[in-house]
Amino acid sequence: MKERLLALALAAGSAVLAVVSFFLYAGHDDKPPEIVVKEMEISYTDGDDYSGLLKGVSAEDDRDGDLSDAVFVYKIVPLENGKAVVYYGVMDSNRNVGTAVRKVKFATGIQADAPDESGDMPDEKTEGKKDGEDHTPGDKDEASDSEELKPDGVRPVIALNADNAQIKAGGVFDALSYVKGVADDKDDQNTLYRHIHVDGQYDINTAGTYELRFYVSDSEGNTSDVKAFSLTVQ
């Protein structure tokens, strides 16, 4: 009799645990919202507001619904030949981040052949410089940023704009902001950005140095080389 009661109690306990586990799992949301970018011709001049860049951009989350109004532009990377890559982001109520990219026409807003207020033509050596700057667009450091990534055969590639970062304890660390770009022989950047992996444990509230590893995988399971990254929390 005691054995039977014990068996019934264990069965009841297992059923309760199963129900609790189900609801805990069902309540967990780790799926990022999806940003949809329509194919359309967009032009952007450096210094303009971002409203034009958000044309044709929408976002949807399986729990929060329409998040189109929450989409933001978090980075613009100029390329060669008058183009730029625009990086979009959106966050749902559970802090899952969705990303997308697209290329647009890009202008610096400087007319190389326009006379200045005195009627003289700009000097070629000083054109594009601002007060206190020692370089102009087209210098080696900026030119290197505009080099377009190419896949390594069937393997995707990932590039970072830095290999380390320092933040104050309790600050914000946005891992994706350190991704310079990704490329693959088949997948587009929107697909690849959903498969960027950042391995390694870190705690933004505890001082220390944390070693992270960035890489990206494509839809066929190929992975890029791993990029090491050091995060220092001060």
Q: Under 8 Å CB-to-CB from 63, ≥6 apart: which residues?
A: 29, 92, 93, 94
Tell me the pLDDT tens digit for each residue of 99-124. Answer: 888 889 999 865 444 444 444 444 44
CA dist list (Å): 18 to 12, 13, 25, 29: 10, 9, 10, 19
Q: Which amino acid is at 124?
A: E
Question: Tell me: the pLDDT tens digits for 150-184?
Answer: 888 889 999 999 999 999 998 888 888 888 889 99
Task: Give the Cα separation of 45 and 66 in Å (integer).
Answer: 29
For residue 226, what is the domain's CATH number? 2.60.40.10
Give the number of domains in the chain.
2
Of the three residues 91, 126, 146, the one that is the final residue of a domain is 146
pTM over the 0.75 mark:
no
The amino acid present at 117, given as its one-letter code, is E
Q: Please state the φ and ψ torsions of residue 170, each to the nearest 5 degrees.
A: 90, 0
Domain that holds residue 193: 149-234
Are residues 216 and 157 part of one domain?
yes
